[in-house]
């Protein structure tokens, strides 16, 4: 088999960065992450790559291969023309740490602002019953492995288009999993509208295309959430009803999300 020719981004935060080129011997079934490991083990031991499971279950090894956001552990070299170089770069939406590793801690900060699962106080757990078909949809959202490729490809986040924060597809999926849980009691609609910026999503479906878990992010998570928000805030009857009820049950409203920065690393815990 011929060698694969990889162009790999090298550089650290605040540097210009460059591409190093490597010829990697190819074995059958090899994926891009295998090639990166070969480079670490033989030519560039300090090449920064994030990975864990190597089985598309942990979502650590996200990068951009020939410009497309991918899990490098399930991107096979045989899908590429090995006569041409394969370019591997870090995710662009997030601040660079080093080489292929970016600072994704912003995502963890956003996650903290979502009201967690809130079971009913008056139904004892031994009485909880629901059918498989009632949870199939929630289980689809919960397949998310937090690779953040959807966040990376989302043009709102990638191009830093807004001054106000947008939680991004990953966390709309998480919110959908909570909102549509059979017995969750929280109401996250005001949070989604005002804090999460759900209105920024204009349904281009790029996130769905890159999802390695094949979650139908836009159709099954974001659009139903948008409908719930619209029903609550833009349907005059519901709006009036909410005013009458005093808006009780709204949770997480008024929380401020951090804005994703393109260059700086706002959350570097090691700098304090």
Partner 1 sequence: MADTTRPQNRPHDVLVIGAGGAGLRAAIAARDAGADVGLVCKSLLGKAHTVMAEGGVAAAMAHVAPTDTWQTHFRDTMVGGKYLNHPRMAQLHAQEAPDRVRELEYWGAVFDRTADGRILQRPFGGHSHPRLAHVGDRTGLEMIRTLQDRAVAAGIQVYMECTITRLISGPDGVTGAFGYWRTTGRPIAFPAKAVVLATGGVGKAYEVTSNSWEYSGDGDALAYAAGAELIDMEFVQFHPTGMVWPPGVRGLLVTEAVRGEGGILKNALGERFMWKYLPEERRHEYAATDEEAARWVTALSQGKETDARRPPELSTRDNVARAIYIEVKEGRGTPHGGVYLDISYLPAEHVRRKLPSMYEQFKELADVDITAGPMEVGPTTHYVMGGVRVEPDSGATTVPGLFAAGEVAGGMHGANRLGGNSLSDLLVFGARTGTSAAALAATREGDPHLDPVQVQAAARDLAAPLEREDGEDPYAIQRDLQAMMQRLVGIFRVEDDLKEAVRELAALRRRWTKVKVTGGRAFNPGWDLAFELGNLLTVSEAITRLALQRKESRGAHSRIDYPHTDDAKWGKRNGVAAKAPDGTMKVYTTPLPKMPDELQRLLAGDH
Footprint of partner 1 (CB under 8 A): 12, 27-31, 34, 40-42, 45-60, 74, 76, 97-99, 101, 103-105, 108, 111-112, 116-117, 119, 125, 128-132, 135, 138-139, 142-143, 145-146, 177-178, 181, 184, 268-272
Report d(CA 169, CA 172) in Å as an integer: 5
Question: Minimum Å distance from CB 113 to partner 1?
Answer: 10
Q: What is the CB-side half-sphere exposure of residue 241 using CA atoms within 13 A?
A: 8
Closer residue to partner 1 in complex, CB, 97/206: 97
- Is the CB of 138 or the CB of 255 nearer to partner 1? 138
Instruction: Give the nearest distance from C-beta 186 to partner 1 in angstroms.
Output: 11
Residue whose CB is less far from partner 1, 148 or 166: 148
Smallest distance, partner 1 to C-beta of residue 105, A:
7
Contact 74, 149 (CB under 8 A): no
Of the candidates 120, 242, 240, the one whose C-alpha atom is nearest the C-alpha of residue 190 is 242
The nearer residue to partner 1, 178 or 242, going by C-beta atoms, is 178
- Give min distance, CB of 221 to partner 1, in A: 15
Please state the three-class secondary structure of the chain as a single string.
Answer: CCCEEEEEEECECCCCCEEEEEEECCCCCCEHHHHHHHHHHHCCCCCCCCCCCCCCCCCCCEEEECCEEEEHHHCEHHHCCCCCCEEEECCCCCCEEECCEECCHHHHHHHHCCCCCCCCCCCCHHHCCCCHHHHHHHHHHCCCCCCCHHHHHCHHHHCCCCCCCCCCHHHHHHHHHHHCCCCCCCECHHHHHHHCCHHHCCCCCHHHHHCCCCCCHHHHHHHHHHHHHHHHHHCHHHHHHHHHHCCCCECCCCCCCCCCCCCCCCCCHHHC
Minimum CB distance to partner 1, residue 203 (Å): 26
Shortest Cβ 256–partner 1 spacing (Å): 17
Which of 37, 158 has the CB closer to partner 1?
37
CB-wise, 56 or 259, nearer to partner 1? Answer: 56
Residue 70 Cβ vs partner 1, minimum distance, rounded to whole Å: 12
Identity of the residue, 58 or 82, whose beta carbon is nearer to partner 1 in the bound complex: 58
């Amino acid at each position: 088999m011929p060698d694969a020719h990889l162009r790999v981004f090298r550089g650290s935060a605040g540097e210009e960065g460059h591409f190093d080129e490597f010829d990697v011997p190819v074995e059958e079934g090899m994926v891009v992450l295998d090639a990166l490991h070969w480079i670490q083990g033989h030519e560039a031991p300090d090449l920064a790559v994030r990975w864990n499971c190597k089985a598309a279950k942990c979502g650590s090894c996200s990068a951009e291969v020939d410009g497309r956001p991918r899990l490098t552990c399930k991107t096979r070299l045989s899908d590429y023309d090995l006569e041409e170089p394969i370019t591997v770069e870090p995710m662009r939406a997030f601040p660079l740490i080093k080489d292929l590793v970016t600072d994704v801690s912003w995502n963890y900060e956003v996650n903290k602002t979502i009201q967690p699962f809130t079971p009913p106080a008056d139904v004892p757990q031994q009485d909880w019953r629901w059918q498989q078909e009632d949870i199939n949809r929630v289980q689809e959202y919960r397949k998310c492995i937090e690779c953040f490729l959807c966040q990376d490809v989302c043009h709102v986040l990638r191009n830093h288009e807004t001054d106000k924060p947008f939680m991004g597809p990953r966390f709309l999926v998480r919110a959908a999993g909570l909102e549509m849980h059979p017995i969750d009691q929280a109401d996250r609609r005001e949070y989604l509208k005002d804090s999460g910026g759900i209105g920024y999503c204009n349904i281009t479906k790029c996130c769905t295309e890159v999802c390695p878990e094949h979650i139908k992010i836009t159709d099954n998570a974001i659009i139903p959430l948008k409908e719930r928000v619209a029903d609550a805030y833009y349907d005059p009857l519901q709006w009036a009803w909410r005013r009458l009820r005093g808006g009780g049950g709204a949770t997480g409203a008024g929380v401020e999300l951090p804005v994703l920065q393109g260059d700086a690393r706002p959350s570097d815990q090691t700098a304090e």
